[in-house]
Structure 1
């Protein structure tokens, strides 16, 4: 058996898993298992997911965030994930990058949302160096004042997770399933979805973005490639993920409550 080689031996070890088209619910289950059951650092890169799927934060309310009638009519799946953050619709045009770390993995990083966001933006500034006008604006990654990356986090006693959905490209029709949220970032300035977001494809090749993200991560961690089979050490009975699909009955109840 070949043992994966690592680089930058003096840096903290981070396991790297790369997927193409992994269903987003399966990705979320893997992430939650690694956050709660592992004691190692992880980076997960998933190049797109399968069918268009709406993903809501753990406290998101469908009636406030979704055009529920359209979602039900078109049978668009809706997931409530285990982390906070906003609502996105993801598909093959979305690239996902996740960091799961022990609290001491990044020197001098305070395990709170804003410091973690600041750290992640400094890492991505290496990825986008000389490309576009990249900034962290409130909790979003933007070029200028157009969003292309949305973030979500969860922080436990000893570990944290930071995951990002990057809009490589998007289907205009899909955006119609999302309402303008009541709690929108100030820089959005009441713009519609289509005026607010932009596509990463207009700035760099897709494979280049993912490769540069791995390279930027290697400046802070010693990366070790890992296959999915290597983490399947816990049976389903030992780990019960909280990310799940919302049922039609739940969405219908939210629609009725909205009408009343």
Structure 2
């Protein structure tokens, strides 16, 4: 980690440090994380999505010469002064799904070494003895993010209370006069002044100091100017016809909508929430559409609410505009109900074998209702390259996060399991590994090669990710000559963007097409889920696209929502409709098409391979 010592500058305005942060995240070249520690004149820092005039007492800040500066990050308004320290980390955004990650924990660990018991709590606060002394926020630019926070050390708490307008929704259980009892200056709890505390933190956060001279001060000054303009700090406040504000676990969210002829003319979404993407992009997606729940829901299918308003659920977002509704969902048909307890009992022996060899099957991970049937037919689907995926699709229950390194013993362990289980057909799939240079393709090859050597009579099917469309990765797997190469499309074209994370339908189609072009003898296969709002015509259209690239096998099955956090089931598809899909598949010339409520990509994979 690098440390930029700003203590030697004469800059005391928050605008300079926000400009410095923006320069470092946008223009500074280098892969190392960067640490800043700074202090400024009395200032109220307004959250990126807040309405300034609502958050501050303008008369008080004028009388006490308190600056008002809006920051790039979300969250609530914060008061700071020379009795307060600000810290900033400029870091890689990858895998920071908890937003604040390990860097804030470094601050907490350093403070706790002084004998305090600081804890991170709620969305973004650090407390000691139940009292807040630090609030934190973040913002992202491309592949980097700024994480910054405050530390109340010897701050003027009268100014803190006087400059901010209390949010009534946050004070329902506390009188305004009790604010002082809920915040604390930690300088009163440790035996050092703020200068010594500054030096202590710098020493504790292990870093290499780089001189200020290495930075481009002209660019920093350019960024600084933005934070000095009234337009940036106060913005425009147009009139709106519809207004609502609700408090959620993810923060306070206020919506204002200008409606003309029942269509959205303008929309503003403000609050103290955090955002992983620019809220303006989200707002623009609603301009011109009808002001109805159905139209708003359609927008949220292609734009993930939780990325623009961190952790806010689609249901909660719609509630802001249209109120709560009682869900009237189709009743799950009896043919979709299974006894998982009985299933687990009957597959206990196989599960023990898999655990002993540190192997993972999709059959187990997804609690597949067909696993007993598949195991009985000497077929199983194994998941390689770990259990953590680098993507976060809205339908998938596989764990998302930073994956472990590939297990070199996995090919040998797989061979052992295949022999003990006596498998005649094996399906190998994986989590998506965008973190690897070869996207995991070499590990696929290692597994295929080992299986061909040790169990030559077992047919091999691989269910691969899209490898980001990398030709060399696809070619590598094709050259290993598995019997079937499967790549699931998951859904129809219209729903693709909002359903799959960092995926592209045309790229996926090209994966299947490339396989056929490289080796026409290899069977290609794909699968989709239905019941998420697609029409039969859209499914038929996709089926035709697949036959145009000579895809041989297709599976169609009912989508079942893994949890409330995932995409909701729109409809349960009738048995009659599955028969229509089968008939259409035969008409189009698929070698084999499996369609039914319990059908999954690897269901009866051996029969599909044989074309039975």
Task: Please give the range of the TM-score, normalised by the shorter of the 2 chains.
Answer: 0.7 to 0.9
Q: CA deviation at 1:208?
A: 4.3
- Counterpart residue number, 1:195: 181
1:211 has 2:194 as partner: no
- Counterpart residue number, 1:227: 211
- Counterpart residue number, 1:34: 24
Task: Please say if residues 54 and 77 of structure 1, whose CA atoms lie closer than 8 Å, have aligned partners that are also in contact.
Answer: yes
Q: CA deviation at 1:172?
A: 3.3
Q: What CA distance in whole angstroms lies between the structure 1 residues aligned with 2:5 and 2:129?
A: 31
**Residues 116/17 of structure 1: CA separation in 2 closer, same or farther (3 Å cut):** farther
Q: What CA distance in whole angstroms lies between the structure 1 residues aligned with 2:16 and 2:34?
A: 16
Aligned length: 227
Task: Please say if residues 139 and 146 of structure 2, whose CA atoms lie closer than 8 Å, have aligned partners that are also in contact.
Answer: yes
**Residues 86/242 of structure 1: CA separation in 2 closer, same or farther (3 Å cut):** farther
Q: What CA distance in whole angstroms lies between the structure 2 residues aligned with 1:14 and 1:183?
A: 40
Q: 2:53 aligns with which of 49, 53, 63?
A: 63
SS at match of 1:211: helix
**Residues 224/120 of structure 1: CA separation in 2 closer, same or farther (3 Å cut):** closer
SS at match of 1:136: strand
Q: CA deviation at 1:67?
A: 1.4
**Residues 154/123 of structure 1: CA separation in 2 closer, same or farther (3 Å cut):** same
Q: CA deviation at 1:236?
A: 6.5
Q: What CA distance in whole angstroms lies between the structure 2 residues aligned with 1:140 and 1:65?
A: 19
Unpaired stretches in structure 1, ≥5 consecutive residues: 1-12, 105-109
Q: What CA distance in whole angstroms lies between the structure 2 residues aligned with 1:56 and 1:88?
A: 7
Q: 2:164 aligns with which of 160, 163, 178?
A: 178
Q: 1:154 aligns with which of 120, 125, 139?
A: 139
SS at match of 1:128: helix
SS at match of 2:187: helix
Deviations 1:133-186 (A, max 9, x none): 210011111102111111111122211111111111122331211122356499
Deviations 1:13-62 (A, max 9, x none): 4243242663221111111110111233211111x323x12111111212
Q: Which has the higher helix share?
A: 2
Unpaired stretches in structure 2, ≥5 consecutive residues: 241-612
Q: Which has the higher strand share?
A: 1
- Counterpart residue number, 1:3: none
**Residues 182/227 of structure 1: CA separation in 2 closer, same or farther (3 Å cut):** farther
SS at match of 2:100: helix
Q: What CA distance in whole angstroms lies between the structure 2 residues aligned with 1:29 and 1:136?
A: 27
**Residues 68/117 of structure 1: CA separation in 2 closer, same or farther (3 Å cut):** same
- Counterpart residue number, 2:72: 82
Task: Please say if residues 81 and 243 of structure 1, whose CA atoms lie closer than 8 Å, have aligned partners that are also in contact.
Answer: no
Q: What CA distance in whole angstroms lies between the structure 1 residues aligned with 2:7 and 2:130?
A: 30
Q: 1:166 aligns with which of 140, 151, 161?
A: 151
SS at match of 2:199: helix
Bigger Cα displacement from structure 2, 203-212 vs 169-178: 203-212
1:43 has 2:35 as partner: yes
1:133 has 2:133 as partner: no
Q: What CA distance in whole angstroms lies between the structure 1 residues aligned with 2:4 and 2:145?
A: 16
Q: What CA distance in whole angstroms lies between the structure 2 residues aligned with 1:69 and 1:233?
A: 35
Considering Cα pairs closer than 8 Å and 6+ residues apart, tell me whether 1 or 2 has the greater RCO.
Answer: 1
Task: Please say if residues 142 and 148 of structure 1, whose CA atoms lie closer than 8 Å, have aligned partners that are also in contact.
Answer: yes
**Residues 122/174 of structure 1: CA separation in 2 closer, same or farther (3 Å cut):** same
Q: What CA distance in whole angstroms lies between the structure 2 residues aligned with 1:92 and 1:43?
A: 19
TM-score with structure 2 setting the length: 0.34
